[in-house]
Amino acid sequence: MIVISSAELRNNIKKYLDLATTETIVIQRGKTDTFVLSKLSHIPDADLSRAITVDELLIGIKSDIQSMYSNNK
């Protein structure tokens, strides 16, 4: 595991993306934010089955907005 700053990642992104194929990179941003960079070889089928398309997302958002608008009348 390697711990780096967000500035170090920004300055050497290719290097750390290459390293992330074989090890975990921890990115420290400021004093409170911490992120993990690692390679995901595949997305599990269970996760894919829950995924939605952008069009499905927009339909849901429009429906929610219409519902909120009609409840305020």
CB atoms within 10 A of CB 4: 18
User: Quick one: pLDDT at residue 23?
Assistant: 93
- Cα distance between residue 73 and residue 61, in whole Å: 19
Q: What is the CATH number of the domain that holds 45?
A: 3.40.1620.10
Average pLDDT, stretch 35-57? 86
More confident residue, 41 or 3: 3
Range of the domain at 48: 2-71
Residue partners of 34: CB distance under 8 A and separation at least 6 = 26, 27, 28
User: Quick one: pLDDT at residue 73?
Assistant: 62
Residue partners of 38: CB distance under 8 A and separation at least 6 = 20, 23, 24, 25
Domain count, the chain: 1
Does residue 36 carry a pLDDT above 90?
yes
Average pLDDT score, the chain: 90
Does residue 25 carry a pLDDT above 90?
yes
